Amino acid sequence: MTETPAPKTQRVRVKRMHQRGAYDRATIDAILDAQPLAHVGYLLDGAPLVTPTLQWREGDHVYWHGSSASRMLERCDGAEVCVTVTLMDGMVMARSAYNHSVNYRSVMLLGRARIVDDRAEKEMRLRNFVEALFPGRWDKLRAMTEQEFKATTVLALPIDEASAKIRAAPPGDDDADLDIDVWAGVIPLRTQTLDPVPDPRGRQGVPVPDHVRNFRIG
Amino acid sequence: MTETPAPKTQRVRVKRMHQRGAYDRATIDAILDAQPLAHVGYLLDGAPLVTPTLQWREGDHVYWHGSSASRMLERCDGAEVCVTVTLMDGMVMARSAYNHSVNYRSVMLLGRARIVDDRAEKEMRLRNFVEALFPGRWDKLRAMTEQEFKATTVLALPIDEASAKIRAAPPGDDDADLDIDVWAGVIPLRTQTLDPVPDPRGRQGVPVPDHVRNFRIG
């Protein structure tokens, strides 16, 4: 999050990944792996657009996908993009408005995206996307048709120029404010998965598999 | 989210707000009011950047704030930006990989941002930001100092060119797939607030106020 200056927080910034050590990269990977929701920034007629989509990481790349007719995917191919992934972990309640903040984990990836052209790789990426979210599901699904395969585009972005920001701390109040009679602390936030809702159409009574029961974000 | 073509979903798209009716604007406002987390897209040296921040709506504008030294805020002032707000409401589990999707609500706002220069307006916006999230809190806080006030910048963006996208539906499987023996349905997601954690520093035993106890996102 942007916040007022002089935050008393732990921060990890990696301007250029290839100049930094393993700890920073592990931090970045952990955030990418914890949050499938990404916001992709790209240019359309010289102006920035930000589109939400799901990302997944495999090794040194993140991937996202969509319709082959998608304007976003078309504009990202071969172009400079910014992929930002954020988890909001808590509202930080201080004794002054100025020191209010948010606990969060965020990664910003910069670079040039490219379409995954190779047929075998594209199929593998799509399979890995489903399997990363829902282990064991892919082989139970109706197989992709050729038409569906052609109608789907996968984009790749190397994890090269990346930065992570983390705030995970109590309020950073000034010492002089500590005796003020107002509640201060953190309201923790997390993504909750509720009971799965079976499709009202189709075959009924299919048992809920572990990959549904155990699905978590965060 | 981006997704494969022919989604069987309810969608609301508003390309140009001033050409559209009240229903669309109400939908957009409801999404903006439900999710403080925004991803702001802007240009730096001709390349897109996407920064997470908190937004709040007042009437026909959204606002966000940060350090007066923030590169993001500086770059957004007078420039074309894109503010995107997303709530991820559920994972949509279909019988084919292709028909998997996400239930979500998202708003994309386009336009030219401007710094709120007027002193009285800026103070009112910051107060309204805190009060919208935590009703009754502002007056209990230590008052902003002149230095804090100068160190904080508030940006405004009119809600003019806006689009909302909503998917809120069961899986859109093809009829031919409905008898496949795989669990299909929706895993609902929501932002959960956990028990507030008091600051270990400062005055202890301050009762948890309603504006903390009742805080919700979504």
Q: Render pLDDT for B56-93 as a digit per residue (tens, 0 to 9).
A: 999 999 999 999 999 999 999 999 999 999 999 999 99
Closest-CA residue of chain B to A6: B67
- Give the closest-approach CA distance of A59 to chain B in angstroms: 22
Neighbour count for residue B126 (Cβ, 10 Å): 22
Residue A18 confidence (pLDDT): 43
Closest-CA residue of chain A to B81: A48
Determine the residue among A85, A127, A187, A214 to mutate to test chain B binding: the one whose Cβ has the most chain B Cβ atoms within 10 Å: A187
Residue B21 confidence (pLDDT): 39
Residue A105's nearest CA partner among A89, A92, A93 is: A89
Contact between chains at A50 and B39 (C-beta distance less than 8 A) = yes
Pairing state of beta strands B197-198 and B152-158? Answer: unpaired
Domains of chain A: 17-213 (2.30.110.10)
pLDDT band at B189 (very low <50, low <70, confident <90, very high): very high
- Its ipTM equals 0.91
Higher pLDDT, B2 or A9: B2
Q: pTM (2 decimals)?
A: 0.91
Closest-CA residue of chain B to A111: B47
Q: What is the pLDDT of residues A41-99, one digit of tens each?
A: 999 999 999 999 999 999 999 999 999 999 999 999 999 999 999 999 999 999 999 99
Name residues whose C-beta falls within 8 Å of residue B183's C-beta, 6 or more positions apart in sequence. A196, A198, A206, A207, A208, A209, A212, B93
HEC profile of A6-53: CCCCCCCCCCCHHHCCHHHHHHHHHHHHHCCEEEEEEEECCEEEEEEE
**Out of B70, B88, B198, closest to residue A37 by CB:** B88
> Does B186 score more than 90 pLDDT?
yes
> Does A14 score more than 70 pLDDT?
no
